[in-house]
Amino acid sequence: MQANDPNIKWIEEPKLGLTGKMYLPLFVQGLTTTTKHLLGPKVTVSYPDVRPTIGNPLIYRGVHRLNKDEQGRVKCVACFLCATACPAHCIDIVGVESPWPDREKYPESFTIDELRCIFCGMCEEACPVDAIELTSLFDLTGRSREEMIFDKEKLLSVYDQTKDTEPMKSNALGGTV
Task: For other proteins, give the closer residue by CB, 77 or 137.
Answer: 77
3-class DSSP state of 139: coil
Question: CA 155, CA 51: separation in Å to the nearest integer?
Answer: 23
Nearer to other proteins, 87 or 142 (CB): 87
Q: Which is nearer to other proteins, 61 or 103 (CB)?
A: 103
Q: Give the interface with other proteins as residue ranges (CB under 8 A).
A: 77-81, 84, 95-97, 102-105, 128-129
For the CB of residue 170, give the shortest distance to other proteins in the complex, in Å.
Answer: 15
Closest CB 63 distance from other proteins, rounded Å: 24
Residue 60 near residue 134 (C-beta atoms within 8 A) = yes
Residues 6+ apart with CB under 8 A from 161: 65, 137
CB of 96 to other proteins, least distance (A): 6
The answer to whether the CB of 15 falls within 8 A of the CB of 22 is no
